[in-house]
Structure 1
């Protein structure tokens, strides 16, 4: 994999030359914290508030060459993405994000500017969700690996699980679908534009406030779309013991996305149905009237069938290819 020149360590300021604590100071000094962070970076551990008495916690790992490429994305993009994919899991539980912890592994030859730009992206994405980086760790490795732990506050509500969907519920989504897959296809062909589509692959934009809104509206189950709409709705189906039917007439394909697909000889609906990494939210609600404003109904919960898949598209199994991403496959 091609690496950018600034990651070669040819400059005078590398991670190795600054050392662990100098690098930590470079990415934490001058940063402000929200009131929910009682003790931030610099001590043995962070201290954050937990007003609800329960904490939603999740962690995710991003590996260079698997989840991102530094010849396709700027370090700031990667930093944003590493935080966003974790916070999407928090909001998919119906929680409000409260803080994140970051683990970073990288070669000692990594230029310090790469690390500070990664941190800039992390802090920027955390700020977009109204939180801060409470702490973390740095170690040496042969390639860049980022591990983020995100915490969330349920604000007195019950968590929205994958297992609560019931026959007769409606399926709705909030966010965008297919854009990250479109951006990946563009980059895979050696292009860097249109920037709007390419950036959708570089860093997602989860609807951070909508998880809590769905929970308040009575959502019976919820998940964020990380592996693909069909794949992730199948997780809801398996956990809830039901089936789903997705209506393609309700799935909006943006004109810009359709133009890109046409230029590449691709099917934009396939991107919408199977493309992962957009981190839109998909949830079930007990009736049409309970779907919050800003959400779009895209299907229904039906009885669990005996066919090859618990998720159908317009009443039939999807025959357009794999339903989404699976590690190690």
Structure 2
């Protein structure tokens, strides 16, 4: 079920740039003709939106994309940027075992950004929000020197407990919800101006989280879970530190597609560098009581061990600490 709570853009929307349209003209354009799910009780147009929280609790996360830091406009279309901004937030909601209910988007952009590009970015936001089962319910627009997209995502636990990072126990199985390394490979291909491998280049421009994997893991009894945004090892270390355990990754069990291996060979890269340290895939990493608990689509890649003589937060690969790159850091 859904309702149409759309508005109508004003005539100024026919102008060619965001600066000439103005804040409210742009907002009118990007909210026109949109249909909202029943979780949205009041959409854009008032001082704030109203979103249903039937569970009585709301899962909230926020993240941003900054031009030149998280994307390049010569590599990614505005639609790609919009989808990526939603995906990286929606994956965090899924990592708690919740389902997305709404997204709020704040946009800072140069005044000479074309209306066509702004509408294309908005289309990307809506494409990915719809894929996550939710909608864009409001936000803000302001002028700035560079394009910045900041998203706040809301989610619903449907009566279940949130799956936190601190619940992993020795003896648990460590598993991922999908391959990792494709985004890093796509970045390397784009940076080297290597043609071909369209799926990998697309994976860097637009990650495709499995939004159902988080709730499925929660229903299957996952003991801890997180989103793989900075790299499998980097995020595994966060989970291990929160749980006070050691995580032992077995590289032979990582789900590495053949196209990833082919690109690594072509660029002279160890494919494990991408699979273990490449970020922005937004697969999920979780621990489960045993192998039989893994939902469809999840792959066991290791075990949870006792800390012993090493510190909490240690992650090993094939029995030893990894000496290569571990993943993305913002500073």
1:28 counterpart (28, 31, 34) = 31
- Where does structure 1 lack aligned partners over 5 or more consecutive residues? 1-10
2:87 counterpart (81, 84, 87) = 84
1:206 counterpart (199, 205, 209) = 209
Tell me which residue corresponds to 1:105.
108
Is 1:293 the counterpart of 2:303 in the alignment? Answer: no
Tell me which residue corresponds to 1:4.
none
For the residue of structure 1 that corresponds to 2:103, the secondary structure is strand
Contact 1:86–1:148 (8 Å) recurs in 2: yes
Q: How much has 1:252 moved relative to structure 2?
A: 2.1
Deviations 1:77-117 (A, max 9, x none): 00000000000000000001111000000011111111111
Deviations 1:207-228 (A, max 9, x none): 1001001001111100010000
Tell me which residue corresponds to 1:169.
172
Tell me which residue corresponds to 2:265.
262
For the residue of structure 2 that corresponds to 1:33, the secondary structure is strand
Is 1:114 the counterpart of 2:114 in the alignment? Answer: no
Is 1:19 the counterpart of 2:22 in the alignment? Answer: yes
Tell me which residue corresponds to 1:160.
163
Q: How much has 1:195 moved relative to structure 2?
A: 1.2
Q: Which structure 2 residues correspond to residues 1-329 of structure 1 after superposition, within 5 A?
A: 13-307=16-310, 310-319=314-323, 321-328=324-331
**Residues matched between the structures, number:** 317
For the residue of structure 2 that corresponds to 1:166, the secondary structure is coil
Deviations 1:275-309 (A, max 9, x none): 00000011001112211122110000001143477
Deviations 1:49-74 (A, max 9, x none): 00100000000011000000000100
Contact 2:30–2:119 (8 Å) recurs in 1: yes
How many angstroms apart in 1 are the aligned matches of 2:152 and 2:253? 34
Q: How much has 1:12 moved relative to structure 2?
A: 5.4
TM-score, normalised to structure 1, is: 0.94
Which consecutive segments of 4 or more residues in structure 1 shift more than 2 A?
A: 305-309
CA-based RMSD:
1.2
- Where does structure 2 lack aligned partners over 5 or more consecutive residues? 1-13
TM-score, normalised to structure 2, is: 0.94
How many angstroms apart in 2 are the aligned matches of 1:110 and 1:65? 16
